[in-house]
């Protein structure tokens, strides 16, 4: 990714329907509801600058986002990211979203398998994510890849003051990529 593609990514996010935004709103895209938006944008920008990545990995790994971007006709149509958690060095957080008019075409599957491959190659043990309990489609999608529901977190997320119950789902990579 080139540094200025951060603007392209923001354009991608603005093109999602309101429902998809409710279901997929990573901190770096939450413009109005997150006071730390600028910090997240800066971390996204820094994650896109190749020479900075090794340094970030060492000094502030939780800032570093690994991005997987799906293009169609030079337009960003899907995005997945992996982000290392502060305390758990062997686990990564995953997020994924596809433009509404491109959903159901296999783009999400392709982004997800690429991200899982990368996490496995980097020696991670576990990929985890949060998904709204009402997002049946995404839950089925993740289950197909071997994710299991780990726990339900009542009011674990908010979207414009609406509290959302979420499932934490986990995938143990050793089960999918046995060595
Ligand atoms: C969830 C999401 C990422 C899946 O990406 P996608 O490109 O639509 O998924 P794919 O086309 O690769 O389909 C994979 C699976 O998703 C499910 N799926 C896809 N389209 C579906 C539809 N119209 N109805 C029901 N399930 C569907 C199916 O399980 C499908 O498996 P199949 O191909 O065997 O039927 C995408 O729909 C999305 O961005 N949704 C809105 C944001 C969101 O919910 N993000 C996840 C937040 S945790």
pLDDT digits (tens, 9 = 90+) for 64-80: 889 999 999 989 999 99
- pLDDT > 80? residue 115: yes
Place of tokens 């529901």: 149
Q: Is the CB of 107 under 6 A from ligand 1?
A: yes
- pLDDT > 80? residue 32: no
Tell me the pTM.
0.91
Beta-strand ranges (E) seen in the chain are 65-72, 75-84, 91-98, 126-132, 148-159, 162-172
Q: How far is CA 159 from CA 11, 62, 153, in A?
A: 20, 23, 15
Spatial separation of the C-alpha atoms in residues 130 and 142, rounded to whole Å:
11
Spatial separation of the C-alpha atoms in residues 35 and 31, rounded to whole Å:
8
Cβ pair 42, 88 in contact under 8 A = no
Spatial separation of the C-alpha atoms in residues 3 and 34, rounded to whole Å:
22
Q: Which atom of ligand 1 is nearest to the CA of 131?
A: 48
- pLDDT > 70? residue 124: yes
Q: What is the CATH number of the domain that holds 29?
A: 3.40.630.30
Spatial separation of the C-alpha atoms in residues 49 and 17, rounded to whole Å:
29
CA of 141 to the centre of ligand 1 (A): 6
CA of 138 to the centre of ligand 1 (A): 6
- pLDDT > 80? residue 158: yes
Q: How many folded domains does the chain comprise?
A: 1
Residue 56 confidence (pLDDT):
82
pLDDT band (50, 70, 90) for residue 177 = confident
Residue of 32 and 166 predicted with greater confidence: 166
pLDDT band (50, 70, 90) for residue 50 = confident
Q: Is the CB of 76 under 6 A from ligand 1?
A: no
Cβ pair 80, 114 in contact under 8 A = yes
Structure tokens at 134: 């009402």
Percent of the chain at pLDDT above 70? 94
Residue 131 phi, psi (nearest 5):
-135, 140
Q: Is the CB of 115 under 6 A from ligand 1?
A: no
Structure tokens at 114: 């690429």
Classify 102 as helix, strand or coil: helix
Place of tokens 């944008």: 41
Spatial separation of the C-alpha atoms in residues 11 and 163, rounded to whole Å:
26
CA of 45 to the centre of ligand 1 (A): 28
Domain range enclosing 148: 5-176
Residue of 120 and 49 predicted with greater confidence: 120
CA of 108 to the centre of ligand 1 (A): 6
């Amino acid at each position: 990714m080139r540094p200025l593609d951060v603007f392209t990514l923001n354009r991608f996010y603005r093109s999602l329907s309101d429902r998809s935004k409710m279901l997929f709103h990573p901190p770096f895209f939450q413009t109005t509801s997150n006071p730390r938006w600028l910090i997240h944008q800066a971390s996204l920008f820094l994650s896109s600058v190749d020479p900075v990545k090794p340094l970030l990995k060492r000094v502030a790994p939780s800032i570093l986002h690994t991005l997987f971007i799906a293009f169609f006709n030079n337009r960003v149509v899907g995005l997945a990211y992996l982000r290392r958690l502060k305390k758990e060095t062997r686990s990564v957080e995953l997020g994924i979203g596809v433009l509404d008019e491109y959903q159901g075409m296999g783009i999400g599957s392709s982004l997800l398998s690429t991200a899982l491959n990368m996490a496995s190659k980097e020696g991670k043990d576990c990929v985890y994510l949060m998904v709204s309990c009402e997002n049946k489609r995404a839950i089925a999608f993740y289950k197909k890849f071997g994710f299991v529901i780990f726990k339900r977190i009542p009011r674990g997320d908010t979207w414009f003051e609406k509290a959302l119950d979420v499932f934490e789902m986990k995938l143990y990579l050793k089960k999918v990529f046995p060595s």
